[in-house]
């Protein structure tokens, strides 16, 4: 019985060895041969196969450190709106945020209504239909509400404080009225400021 088992094991081992030998012999890479070296073609250069590329010289003044302003995302555009009846619209009039009114609301009265908790009237001129406002950026209150230790371990924010004076002007035409806002030096305010102000005006003009 032992001889029979031994014979079976030997036969199995021989079959496995024969299969492995056939598998190895059939591998194609065993028949691979070394190819001839590349030869230069007349008029053409051999490719650079060293894997090394020349590093250009860098002048000290070529690269300058980035400033916060250079990496700051672009200013977002203010929100343009239109009432359901299209009697009140907020548009960009040649870069100036402007609200146009086509209903019976009076532009001067709208400008003198409550414009929100962050807006304060400094000076008004009804003849010129113009009001100078002061905007208190709500970020200031947020900073004041922070605790001492939070202020102590908080890095200086890159947020730009939008507090300051802004001029609100109106123009009454036969078919429509216009209200626009600018800075004291006649520049376009931040979209954040425009939206905060015009949201109040738009609500009052559409009620």
Alpha-carbon span 112 to 132, nearest angstrom = 11
Domain for residue 54, yes or no?
no
Distances (CA, A) of 47 to 37, 38, 40, 44: 13, 10, 9, 9
With a pLDDT cut of 90, the percent of the chain lying above it is 41
> Cβ(130)–Cβ(168) under 8 Å?
yes
Domain that holds residue 21: 2-26
Domain for residue 34, yes or no?
no
43-56 tens-digit pLDDT: 776 666 665 666 66
Q: Do 100 and 160 share a structural domain?
A: yes
How many domains is the chain built from? 2
Domain for residue 32, yes or no?
no
Domain for residue 175, yes or no?
yes
Burial label, 97 (beta-carbon count in 10 A; 0-12, 13-18, 19+): buried
56-109 tens-digit pLDDT: 666 665 556 665 555 555 556 788 989 999 999 999 998 899 999 999 999 999
Question: Phi and psi at residue 185, in whole multiples of 5°?
Answer: -100, 25
Q: Do 117 and 180 share a structural domain?
A: yes
- What are the helix and strand counts (H, E) for the chain? 6, 6
Smallest CA-to-CA distance from 111 within 186, 172, 192 is with 172
Helices (H), the chain: 2-25, 68-71, 107-111, 139-145, 148-152, 191-206
- pTM, rounded to two decimals: 0.58
140: domain CATH number is 3.30.530
Sheet holding 164-172, edge to edge: 88-93, 96-101, 177-183, 164-172, 130-135, 119-125
Tell me the mean pLDDT in the region 20-30: 54
Domain for residue 59, yes or no?
no
For 99-139, the three-class secondary structure string (H helix, E strand, C coil) is: EEECCCCCHHHHHCCCCCCCEEEEEEECCCCEEEEEECCCH
Question: What torsion, rounded to 10 degrees, do the Cα atoms 41, 44, 49, 55 define?
Answer: 170
Domain for residue 8, yes or no?
yes
Domain for residue 105, yes or no?
yes
Alpha-carbon span 87 to 95, nearest angstrom = 21
The residue with greater pLDDT, 160 or 101, is 101
């Amino acid at each position: 019985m032992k001889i029979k088992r031994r014979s079976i094991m030997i036969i199995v081992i021989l079959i496995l060895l024969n299969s492995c030998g056939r598998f190895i012999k059939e591998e194609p890479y065993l028949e691979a041969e070394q190819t001839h070296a590349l030869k230069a073609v007349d008029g053409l250069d051999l490719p650079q196969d060293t894997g090394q590329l020349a590093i250009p010289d860098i002048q000290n003044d070529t690269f300058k450190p980035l400033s916060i302003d250079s990496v700051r995302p672009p200013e977002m555009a203010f929100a343009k709106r239109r009432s359901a009846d299209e009697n009140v619209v907020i548009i960009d009039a040649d870069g100036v945020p402007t609200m146009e009114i086509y209903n019976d609301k009076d532009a001067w009265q709208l400008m003198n209504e409550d414009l929100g908790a962050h807006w304060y009237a400094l000076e008004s001129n009804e003849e010129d239909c113009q009001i100078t406002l002061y905007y208190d950026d709500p970020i200031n209150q947020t900073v004041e509400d922070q605790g001492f230790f939070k202020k102590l371990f908080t890095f200086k924010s890159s947020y730009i404080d939008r507090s300051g004076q802004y001029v609100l002007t109106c123009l009454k035409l036969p078919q429509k009225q216009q209200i626009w806002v600018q800075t004291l030096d006649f520049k376009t305010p931040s979209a954040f400021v425009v939206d905060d102000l015009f949201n109040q005006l738009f609500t009052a003009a559409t009620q």
